[in-house]
């Protein structure tokens, strides 16, 4: 019996913590990029649960992997300004202390680093005073050189990454969008990335206490919606 895409998405969030823990075991961690079309801000996170919650429940667009960060290195913290509705990423403790004590910024992510800086790939920062003081980060040197022609100011290399990312065209989740390819059937998870669906399915099918341990195999189903959204589901079989 086919399931509603929204139902599967919400159920999939239950397993996001498991996927987040498994990702931390890897030497390099993907930094995901999301886009808020209401205020033009980009958000960067390594947290699968945060990524999926923003995408499936809060209207943020998904843009793929911004870059790959090392598991250890220089810690990068995220600050938030409620008045400006902006996030700022910085590894400068003096900047953190000044902004949080004098200018209305608060520490985000529980005060913990959101990712680490390290590697040979440059991550550039640009700034736009006219857009509520927005900052933007990119590994794309062409984007860095083009944006000044659109009102952005260059601020140089701020972080380092181990690899450039695999960015994709922005797509948004719409629970009412028509499915034009793939399907959701006999599954308790909807994910943005195929590898997340695979990791979850591989775990539960081999867990003797799981409801899915009786299955012999599984298949990752790519679901394409009429609005351009792309998600993934799991089909189990005996």
Query: Which residue in 95, 13, 97, 91 sits closest to 56, CA to CA?
Result: 13
Q: Is 167 left (phi over 0), alpha (psi -120 to 50) or beta?
A: beta
Cα–Cα distance for residue pair 238/231, rounded to 1 Å: 24
Interval 33-73: pLDDT, tens: 999 999 899 999 999 999 999 999 999 999 999 999 999 99
Return the pLDDT at 24: 45
- Residue 188 is predicted with a pLDDT of 63
CB atoms within 10 A of CB 62: 24
Q: What tens digit of pLDDT does each residue of 122-175 get?
A: 999 999 999 888 999 999 999 999 999 999 999 999 999 999 988 888 999 988
Asked whether 40 and 134 are in contact (CB, 8 A), the reply is yes
Q: Note the pLDDT tens digit of each residue in 9-41.
A: 434 444 443 454 444 445 799 999 999 999 899
> Other C-beta atoms within 10 Å of 127: how many?
15
Q: Distance (Å, rounded) from C-alpha 2 to C-alpha 4?
A: 7
CA dist., res. 228 & res. 198, Å (int): 22
Mean pLDDT of 174-186: 82
Prediction pTM value: 0.81
The rounded distance, in Å, linking the Cα atoms of 181 and 178 is 9
Query: Residue 8 has what pLDDT?
Result: 44
Handedness of CA 47, 28, 97, 86 (dihedral sign): negative
**What is the band of 113 on the pLDDT scale with cuts at 50, 70, 90?**
very high
Q: Domain coordinates of the chain in residue numbers?
A: 26-169
- Spacing of C-alpha 116 from chain mean position: 15
């Amino acid at each position: 019996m086919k399931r509603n895409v929204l139902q599967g998405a919400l159920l999939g969030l239950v397993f996001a913590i498991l996927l987040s823990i498994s990702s931390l075991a890897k030497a390099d961690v993907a930094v995901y990029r999301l886009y808020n079309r209401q205020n033009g801000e980009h958000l960067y996170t390594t947290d699968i649960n945060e990524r999926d919650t923003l995408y499936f429940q809060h209207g943020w667009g998904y843009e793929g992997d911004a870059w790959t960060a090392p598991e250890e290195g220089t810690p990068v913290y995220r600050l938030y300004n409620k008045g400006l509705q902006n996030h700022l990423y910085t590894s400068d403790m003096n900047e953190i202390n000044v902004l949080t004590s004098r200018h209305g910024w608060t520490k985000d992510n529980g005060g913990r680093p959101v990712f680490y800086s390290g590697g040979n790939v440059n991550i550039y920062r640009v700034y736009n005073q006219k857009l509520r003081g927005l900052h933007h980060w990119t590994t794309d040197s062409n984007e860095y050189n083009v944006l000044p022609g659109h009102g952005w100011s260059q601020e140089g290399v701020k972080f380092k990454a181990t690899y450039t990312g695999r960015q994709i065209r922005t797509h948004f989740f719409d629970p009412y969008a028509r499915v034009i390819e793939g399907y959701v059937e006999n599954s308790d998870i909807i994910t943005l990335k195929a590898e997340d669906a695979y990791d979850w399915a591989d775990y539960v099918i081999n867990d003797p206490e799981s409801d899915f341990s009786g299955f012999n195999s599984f298949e990752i189903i790519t679901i394409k919606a009429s609005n351009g959204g792309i998600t993934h589901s799991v089909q189990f079989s005996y």
